[in-house]
Amino acid sequence: MSVLTGRTVVVSGVGAGLGHQVAAAVVRDGGNAVLGARTESSLAKSAAEIDPDGAHTAYRPTDITDEQQCLALAELARERFGRIDAVVHVAAWDSYFGGLEDADFTTWRSVIDVNLLGTLRMTRACLPALKVRGGAVVFIGTQSAVAAPTQVRQAAYAASKGALTSAMYSLARELGPHRIRVNSVLPGWMWGPPVQAYVRFTAETEGAPESEVLNRLTERMALPELATDADVANAAVFLTSDRARAITGQSLLVNAGELMR
């Protein structure tokens, strides 16, 4: 039997990369995926690719900085499929780079509003349905929230995701009595659209082959390749399933062994 048969999973941040892979894995494993993201055309494209007949997907444009839009996405899941069993949070602002000295704290606040508060808004919107029969909340964090990055400085992103990991512990305690598990997946370098773009840009800037730039990343891994979007998606979907029924308050690194804890 597929591990998610009859289950409904809300997935935020569904675009061309990780969010799409999470939703695809949910449907592959027998579940229903309710897709949210800001751009309706991206949602429609993902839904059509994942579930051509539309029997196991629904979607709604959703900005997780807007509480009413979060509530509307949760309501769509209940109206269409009658339940919410899990929510996987992929939506994030990951395109702001820099450290402290060059920080624009107005932008920092915006990053935190998406990555921390937006994730919590979406979680809270799903809570009434999750409490009915228990379920799972899965945050997508980042390796840089628990270890200093070696190449790309994204202090605001790392800080917001680190705060989310801290919040995970509190939520795991708060929601545990309702049999709601709360866990995080922490990717490192992840082969998908953002990292592919980074490799291309760096190669063009340095006049170096893309293979050389990629090798700089993979040489730090215990395994001789980067984890993929699909690898991270599979970890997230595992945490939504009953196979992870006794796991809560935990962070799972998916990073080909670059950092070991």
The DSSP secondary-structure symbol of 145 reads G
Active site residue 157: yes
- Inside any domain, residue 217: no
- Inside any domain, residue 14: yes
Q: What is the pLDDT of residue 137?
A: 99
- Inside any domain, residue 221: no
Q: What is the pLDDT of residues 172-201, one digit of tens each?
A: 999 999 999 999 999 988 888 888 888 898
Q: What is the pLDDT of residue 2?
A: 87
- Determine the Cα–Cα distance for residues 105 and 111; give it in Å rounded to an integer: 10
- Inside any domain, residue 181: yes
Q: What is the pLDDT of residue 4?
A: 98
How many distinct helices (H) and strands (E) make up the chain?
9, 9
- Inside any domain, residue 82: yes
Structure tokens at 64: 């997780």
Structure tokens at 16: 């061309």
- Inside any domain, residue 176: yes
Task: Please give the tally of structural domains in the chain.
Answer: 1
CATH of the domain at 135: 3.40.50.720
Structure tokens at 97: 């780079």
Domain range for 120 is 8-188+228-254
- Determine the Cα–Cα distance for residues 107 and 27; give it in Å rounded to an integer: 36
If you search the block for the tokens 């305690």, which residue do you land on?
Answer: 173
Closest CA to 20 of 66, 51, 53: 51
Per annotation, catalytic residue among 59, 96, 157, 169 = 157
Structure tokens at 52: 């051509």
- Determine the Cα–Cα distance for residues 81 and 51; give it in Å rounded to an integer: 15
- Determine the Cα–Cα distance for residues 187 and 211; give it in Å rounded to an integer: 21
The DSSP secondary-structure symbol of 243 reads G
Asked if residues 217 and 191 have their Cβ atoms less than 8 Å apart, the reply is: no
Q: What is the pLDDT of residue 168?
A: 98
Residues of the chain where predicted confidence (pLDDT) is lower than 50: none
- Determine the Cα–Cα distance for residues 149 and 198; give it in Å rounded to an integer: 15
- Determine the Cα–Cα distance for residues 251 and 242; give it in Å rounded to an integer: 17
Q: What is the pLDDT of residue 255?
A: 93
Q: What is the pLDDT of residues 31-74, one digit of tens each?
A: 999 999 999 999 999 999 999 999 999 999 999 999 999 999 99
- Inside any domain, residue 206: no
Residue 147's alpha-carbon distances to 144, 163, 169, 244, 259, in angstroms, are 5, 14, 18, 26, 8
What pTM was computed for the model? 0.93
- Inside any domain, residue 142: yes
Q: What is the pLDDT of residue 151?
A: 66
Contact partners, residue 89, CB within 8 Å, separation at least 6: 12, 13, 119, 122, 123, 137, 138, 139, 140
φ/ψ (deg, to 5) at 85: -105, -20
Closest CA to 238 of 250, 220, 222, 223: 250
